[in-house]
């Protein structure tokens, strides 16, 4: 009797396992074509869409965000530049074991045409990568994007299937471990898996090899409390296809209810006439429901920050004037250079108030140039710069409470810095050190000693050449006729042609004299400063040979 019961239980378990495998096989539920054909069509659609995006949109490929082979990003940018732009990070699906960023740029065309930056993230899929590694990689990719593109006006996530799970894990991140606090404004979670325990006994876990402990700590439905702490202001859309399997639909519905019960801003979208695959493929269509909803979210960033953009435009105008005055050219010439850089793929990012334009040429093999124009007051310390950046970040994110707090902290620290600097100047003037007094006066008056300009005088160069060439002899000149040279081996004369000088200067003696020069002394009539002689002592020690010849 026990054997019969055991056999029945085994058959029941086997039947349940087979049904669970079917439930988590999205291709089995498509009404458009067979399971094998729908997967091939899906890969082809994503691949062709990505190739089109790379041909149409401005892009930078294979940007590393870590040291791993798969830890790279593809960035698709709008053709027209803007001071602050929304940015969408896309996490691809493929059951954590298929696809890559090479098939993840398909959605970039309609978004970049609306002025949105799209970032496609790659990560290490199974079996080379495990679940913990993949979650860590997508989190680190977001940190890298924030650090590189700090001028973005809004950050959004979009993930499909396994990418929906990873996007939900990003929302549930404890960012204190990463020393950043990203303000994610919106997230599209499309046909994702939010509880990993049910798939542990299916074929999906064969390459993943998840244990129960790994599945529990990487299940977003069990991390709703952390999501509420990290992403409470995020607008979340949980979308599912009408023809998704019942188990996939249940995953999305349960996760939506959990987020709703926690008081988060979440909506549930049941997209009609779609299956697990074309629900994401149709993002290439600007008239598609999810595409329009995504564009509506991101268009808010252009309307909500009109005031901020006006301020930035004024600062950019001031920057153009300062650059023109510094370089000595017209404003129109500076503007044309900026436009030329924009067309050639050079990204110009000027952070507000820092006076530091960062010029980065994205063309392969071109050098990266950093130009620094520091226009801060002498009392404006590094700490104040960090506080100013925090205030500007709060303004960009639209967090008024955080902005007021950062502004008040900055004003308080400015008063402290001014008092400290005034005390420092007072101590300098009361001391008996003339150097510190003159330094203080230069700081107050913003006086800078003009650097001497080198004159290009061809006649002077010819005169110097003729002067030094007179020391050469005919036998040493390279133009001496070869026929006069003897074919006999040269032997040194029995007695030297010239007696050795009684006084001889060594290179070490001359080097020591140069090193003893005092940097603060005034230069001689030739304009060479003692600081230059001391710094170049090793190179100038060679002049001992010239001195010895003149003895």
Domain boundary among 391, 426, 461: 426
Q: Looking at 42, 160, 165, 276, which residue is catalytic?
A: 276
Query: pTM of the prediction?
Result: 0.55
Average pLDDT on 43-58 reads 92
Residue 254 and residue 217 share a domain:
yes
Work out the mean pLDDT of the chain and round it to a whole number: 79
Q: Residue 365's pLDDT band (boundaries 50, 70, 90)?
A: very low
* Residue 446 within a domain: no
Average pLDDT on 397-408 reads 84
Q: Which tokens hold the place of 30?
A: 């498509």
Burial class (CB in 10 A: 0-12, 13-18, 19+), 63: middle
* Residue 212 within a domain: yes
Our answer to whether residue 276 is catalytic in this structure is yes
Residues 6+ apart with CB under 8 A from 533: 514, 517, 540
Residue-wise pLDDT tens digits, 496-548? 545 565 677 888 888 888 898 888 888 888 888 888 889 888 888 888 888 88
Q: Looking at 195, 244, 275, 301, which residue is catalytic?
A: 244
Q: Which pairs with CB-CB distance under 8 Å and at least 24 residues apart come from 505-508? A: 505/544, 505/547, 505/548, 505/551, 506/544, 507/541, 507/542, 507/544, 508/541
Residue 262 and residue 386 share a domain:
no
> 251 vs 477, which has greater pLDDT?
251
Q: Looking at 161, 219, 245, 258, which residue is catalytic?
A: 161
Average pLDDT on 24-34 reads 91
Number of domains in the chain: 3
Residue-wise pLDDT tens digits, 69-78? 899 999 998 8
Residue 245 and residue 164 share a domain:
yes
Residue 515 domain boundaries? 499-551
Q: Residue 118's pLDDT band (boundaries 50, 70, 90)?
A: very high
Annotate 387-421 with DSSP letters as a single string.
Answer: HHHHHHHHHHHT-HHHHHHHHHHHHHHHHHHHHHH
Bridge partner list, 64 = 72
Spatial separation of the C-alpha atoms in residues 275 and 30, rounded to whole Å: 6
The pLDDT, as a whole number, for residue 497 is 46
> 390 vs 439, which has greater pLDDT?
390
The pLDDT, as a whole number, for residue 78 is 86
Q: How many CB atoms lie within 10 A of CB 136?
A: 18
Q: How many CB atoms lie within 10 A of CB 258?
A: 20
Domain boundary among 267, 285, 304: 304
Residue 323 and residue 281 share a domain:
no
Average pLDDT on 154-172 reads 95
Residue 364 and residue 311 share a domain:
yes
* Residue 2 within a domain: no
Residue 342 and residue 205 share a domain:
no
* Cβ pair 210, 232 in contact under 8 A: no
Residue 337 and residue 261 share a domain:
no
Q: What percent of the chain has pLDDT over 70?
A: 71
Query: Which of the 8 DSSP states describes residue 5?
Result: H
* Residue 117 within a domain: yes
* Residue 195 within a domain: yes
Residue 312 and residue 294 share a domain:
no
Our answer to whether residue 161 is catalytic in this structure is yes
Residue 325 and residue 269 share a domain:
no
* Residue 140 within a domain: yes
* Residue 334 within a domain: yes
Domain CATH number, residue 285? 3.40.50.1820
Q: Residue 482's pLDDT band (boundaries 50, 70, 90)?
A: very low
Residue 232 and residue 106 share a domain:
yes
Average pLDDT on 373-388 reads 80
Residue 265 and residue 129 share a domain:
yes
* Cβ pair 101, 120 in contact under 8 A: yes
Burial class (CB in 10 A: 0-12, 13-18, 19+), 29: buried
Spatial separation of the C-alpha atoms in residues 190 and 224, rounded to whole Å: 18
- The strand order across the sheet containing 235-241 reads 58-64, 72-77, 117-121, 86-91, 154-160, 184-190, 235-241, 266-271
* Residue 466 within a domain: no
**Residue 480: is its pLDDT beyond 60?**
no
Residue 259 and residue 318 share a domain:
no
How far is CA 444 from each of CA 52, 138, 427, rounded to the nearest angstrom? 58, 49, 14
Task: Say which residue the tokens 């004159």 belong to.
Answer: 455
Domain boundary among 304, 325, 359: 304
């Amino acid at each position: 009797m026990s054997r019969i019961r055991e056999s029945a239980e085994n058959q029941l378990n086997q039947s349940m396992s087979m049904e669970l495998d079917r439930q988590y096989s999205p291709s089995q539920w498509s009404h458009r074509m067979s399971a094998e054909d729908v997967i091939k069509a899906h890969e082809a659609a994503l691949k062709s869409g990505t190739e089109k995006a790379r041909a149409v949109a401005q892009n930078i490929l294979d940007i590393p965000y870590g040291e791993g082979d798969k830890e790279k990003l593809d960035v698709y940018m709008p053709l027209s530049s803007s001071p602050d732009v929304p940015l969408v990070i896309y996490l691809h699906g493929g059951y954590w074991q298929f696809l890559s960023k090479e098939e993840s740029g398909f959605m970039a065309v309609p978004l970049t045409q609306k002025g949105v930056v799209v970032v496609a993230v790659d990560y290490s899929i199974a079996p080379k990568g495990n679940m913990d590694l993949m979650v860590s990689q997508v989190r680190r990719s977001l940190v890298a994007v924030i650090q590189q593109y700090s001028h973005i006006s809004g950050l959004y996530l979009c993930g499909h299937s396994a990418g929906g799970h990873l996007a939900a894990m990003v929302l549930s991140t404890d960012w204190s471990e990463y020393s950043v606090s990203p303000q994610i404004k919106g997230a599209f979670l499309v046909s994702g898996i939010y509880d990993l325990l049910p798939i542990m006994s299916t074929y999906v876990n064969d390459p993943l090899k998840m244990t129960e402990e790994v599945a529990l700590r990487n299940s977003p439905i069990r991390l709703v409390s952390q999501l509420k702490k990290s992403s409470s202001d995020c607008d979340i859309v949980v979308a599912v296809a009408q023809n998704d399997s019942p188990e996939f639909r249940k995953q999305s519905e349960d996760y939506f209810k959990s987020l709703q019960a926690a008081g988060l801003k979440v909506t549930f979208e049941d997209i009609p006439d779609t299956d697990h695959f074309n629900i994401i493929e149709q993002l290439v269509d600007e008239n598609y429901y999810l595409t329009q909803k995504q564009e509506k979210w991101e268009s808010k960033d252009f309307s909500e920050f009109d005031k901020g953009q006006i301020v930035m435009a004024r600062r950019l105008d001031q920057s153009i004037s300062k650059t023109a005055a510094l370089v000595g050219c017209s404003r129109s010439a500076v503007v044309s250079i900026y436009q030329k850089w924009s067309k050639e793929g050079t990204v110009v990012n000027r952070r507000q108030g820092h006076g530091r334009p960062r010029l980065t040429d994205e063309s392969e093999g071109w050098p990266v140039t950093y130009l620094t124009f520091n226009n801060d007051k002498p009392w404006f310390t590094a700490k104040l710069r960090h506080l100013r950046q925090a205030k500007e970040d709060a303004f960009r994110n639209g967090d008024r409470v955080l902005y007021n707090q950062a502004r008040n902290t900055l004003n308080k620290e400015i008063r402290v810095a001014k008092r400290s600097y005034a005390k420092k100047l007072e101590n300098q003037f009361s001391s008996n050190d003339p150097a510190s007094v003159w330094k203080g006066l230069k700081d107050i008056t913003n006086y800078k000693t003009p650097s001497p300009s080198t004159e290009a005088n061809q006649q002077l160069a010819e005169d110097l050449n003729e002067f030094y060439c007179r020391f050469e002899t005919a036998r040493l000149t390279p133009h001496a006729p070869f026929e006069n040279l003897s074919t006999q081996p040269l032997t040194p004369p029995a007695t030297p042609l010239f007696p050795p000088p009684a006084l001889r200067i060594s290179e070490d003696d001359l080097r020591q004299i140069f090193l003893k020069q005092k940097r603060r002394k005034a230069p001689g009539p030739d304009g060479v400063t003692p600081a230059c002689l001391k710094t170049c002592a090793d190179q100038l020690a060679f002049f001992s040979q010239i001195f010895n010849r003149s003895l």
